[in-house]
């Protein structure tokens, strides 16, 4: 179910919308957080990544108080009637467009909303404290599904009308938003989506937070309420769908030459002449035929292909699905990192970077190795989720990610 709701939105006569939007909280580092805070005192990052304030309680209480203050000041205003929102992002010639609504929460075993990655307790506890303090969904999760019905047609045809918002953020991404308030359209979307399944592309910790908050409210005896829904962007993967990028690994302290030598015990490992760009070209070509990785420190690179079938089979649990066992990220973590490199697969040992330059820079700084991967195809992500499996953490980067701040779902407006 994707239900209409009254979005809490920035009043564009009170703010420069391009200056108050932000990326999702979990891709913002300390430097970008400071830049966003300096860009505008009303930037939404002050809600999603609040700081402790003297005399204002902890950072979560400060965020809750700030949200209420911005409402009272008219900076944030609820829309007059419930709507499903169509949200479009244009980046580097790619157009992504989907529906934003209030998603009915279901357990994974029901097979309706399918996670594909595991979650960690810390981020869920953090988001839960923020949700309890703000009584709002401050940013959406991102879902991908196989469309082709009334919902997809609505999304495709919405640009016949003028958008509510049309803004280009400093990163060059253009954002457009429409509100669909027609009750008949809502009913058609509900009928179309009934029985369909969607994969969580981004926001596993936020979805787990939705479910935890729902359980806490029910345990407190509050009964049905706005906590039975969560803010979500639903994108038809076959039309206006996202792009998928790889998330790369960094192993501090493991020199690239040593990493390649140890990998050669279970892979075909060969040096790649030239720079990192040449290594990436070799990686992409090798990935067409099977599993491939690049190990590099930015100066020297090695291409790893053709893993030893027998040793690989022994390293991967036999009770997991074929879809899970064939993933490059699975082979990277269970065979290359854990078996051949004999390393613990935990955050202090294996770091993650969303782009190649950052991974190479981190490898150089730590005198370690960057492990570069090919992107995981969307179909493979869906196959793992459908099999009831979970990919290793930080396996996929769906882009563009929805901006935070265009719509907020406040429980008071439900």
Give the pLDDT score at 239. Answer: 85
Q: Decide if 173 contacts 89 (C-beta within 8 A).
A: yes
Q: At CA 76, angle to CA 155 and CA 137, rounded to 5?
A: 60
Q: Is residue 385 part of a domain?
A: no
Same domain (yes/no): 108, 25: yes
Q: At residue 414, does pLDDT exceed 80?
A: no
Give the pLDDT score at 124. Answer: 94
Q: Is residue 167 part of a domain?
A: yes
Q: Is residue 21 part of a domain?
A: yes
Confidence of residue 348 (pLDDT cuts 50, 70, 90): confident
Q: Decide if 27 contacts 401 (C-beta within 8 A).
A: yes
Same domain (yes/no): 144, 266: no
Same domain (yes/no): 216, 260: no
Q: Is residue 53 part of a domain?
A: yes
Give the pLDDT score at 388. Answer: 81
Same domain (yes/no): 270, 124: no
pTM of the model: 0.82
Same domain (yes/no): 355, 217: no
Give the pLDDT score at 153. Answer: 95
Same domain (yes/no): 28, 163: yes
pLDDT tens track for 68-100? 999 999 999 999 999 999 999 999 889 999 999
Same domain (yes/no): 185, 281: no
Same domain (yes/no): 163, 234: yes
Same domain (yes/no): 138, 180: yes
Question: Regarding predicted confidence, which is higher, 109 or 295?
Answer: 295
Give the total number of structural domains in the chain: 2
Same domain (yes/no): 230, 253: no
**What residue numbers bound the domain in which 338 lies?**
248-372
Q: Is residue 389 part of a domain?
A: no
Question: Regarding predicted confidence, which is higher, 369 or 391?
Answer: 369
Q: How far apart are CA 12 and CA 287, in angstroms?
A: 46
Give the pLDDT score at 357. Answer: 96
Confidence of residue 2 (pLDDT cuts 50, 70, 90): very high
Q: At residue 216, does pLDDT exceed 80?
A: yes
Confidence of residue 24 (pLDDT cuts 50, 70, 90): very high
Q: What whole-number percentage of the chain has pLDDT above 70?
A: 100
Q: Is residue 388 part of a domain?
A: no
Per the prediction, the chain carries an average pLDDT of 93
Q: How far apart are CA 372 and CA 363, in angstroms?
A: 11
Q: What whole-number percentage of the chain has pLDDT above 90?
A: 79
**If DSSP codes are grouped into helix, strand and coil, which group holds residue 353?**
strand
Same domain (yes/no): 67, 148: yes
Q: Is residue 259 part of a domain?
A: yes
Same domain (yes/no): 16, 98: yes
Tell me which residue has tokens 């009831």: 388
CB-side neighbour CA atoms (13 Å) of 279: 29
Confidence of residue 59 (pLDDT cuts 50, 70, 90): very high
Give the pLDDT score at 389. Answer: 84
Q: Is residue 393 part of a domain?
A: no
Give the pLDDT score at 167. Answer: 97
């Amino acid at each position: 179910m994707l239900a209409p709701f009254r979005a809490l939105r920035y009043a564009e006569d009170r703010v420069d919308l391009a200056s108050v939007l932000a990326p999702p909280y979990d891709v913002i580092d300390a430097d970008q957080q400071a830049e966003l805070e300096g860009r505008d005192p009303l930037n939404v990052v002050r809600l999603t990544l609040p700081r402790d304030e003297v005399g204002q309680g902890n950072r979560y209480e400060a965020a809750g108080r700030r949200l209420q203050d911005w409402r009272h000041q008219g900076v944030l205003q609820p829309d007059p009637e419930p709507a499903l929102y169509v949200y479009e992002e244009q980046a580097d010639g790619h157009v992504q467009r989907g529906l934003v609504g209030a998603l009915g929460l279901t357990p994974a075993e029901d097979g309706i909303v399918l996670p594909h990655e595991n979650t960690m307790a810390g981020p869920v506890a953090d988001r839960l404290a923020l949700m309890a303090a703000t009584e709002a969904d401050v940013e959406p999760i991102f879902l991908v599904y196989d469309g082709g019905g009334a919902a997809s047609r609505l999304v495709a045809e919405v640009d016949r009308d003028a958008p509510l918002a049309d803004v280009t953020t400093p990163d060059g991404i253009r954002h457009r938003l429409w509100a669909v308030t027609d009750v008949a359209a809502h009913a058609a979307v509900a009928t179309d989506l009934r029985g369909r399944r969607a994969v969580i592309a981004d926001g596993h910790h936020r979805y787990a937070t939705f479910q935890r908050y729902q359980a806490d409210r029910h345990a407190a005896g509050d009964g049905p309420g706005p906590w039975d829904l969560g803010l979500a962007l639903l994108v038809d993967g076959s039309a206006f769908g996202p792009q998928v990028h790889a998330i790369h690994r960094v192993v501090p302290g493991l020199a690239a030459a040593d990493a390649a030598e140890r990998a050669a015990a279970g892979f075909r490992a060969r040096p790649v002449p030239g720079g990192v760009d040449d290594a990436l070209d070799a990686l992409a070509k090798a990935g067409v035929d099977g599993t491939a990785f690049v190990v590099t420190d930015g100066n020297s690179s090695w291409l790893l292909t053709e893993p030893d079938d027998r040793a690989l089979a022994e390293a991967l649990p036999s009770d997991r699905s074929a879809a899970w066992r064939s993933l490059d990220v699975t082979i990277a973590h269970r065979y290359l990192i854990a078996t051949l490199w004999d390393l613990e697969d935990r955050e202090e040992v294996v770091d993650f970077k969303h782009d190649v330059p950052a991974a190479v820079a981190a490898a150089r700084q730590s005198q370690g190795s960057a492990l570069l991967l090919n992107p995981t195809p969307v179909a493979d992500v869906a196959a793992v989720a459908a099999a009831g499996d979970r990919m290793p953490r930080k396996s996929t980067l769906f882009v563009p990610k929805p901006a935070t701040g265009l719509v907020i779902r406040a429980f008071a407006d439900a």
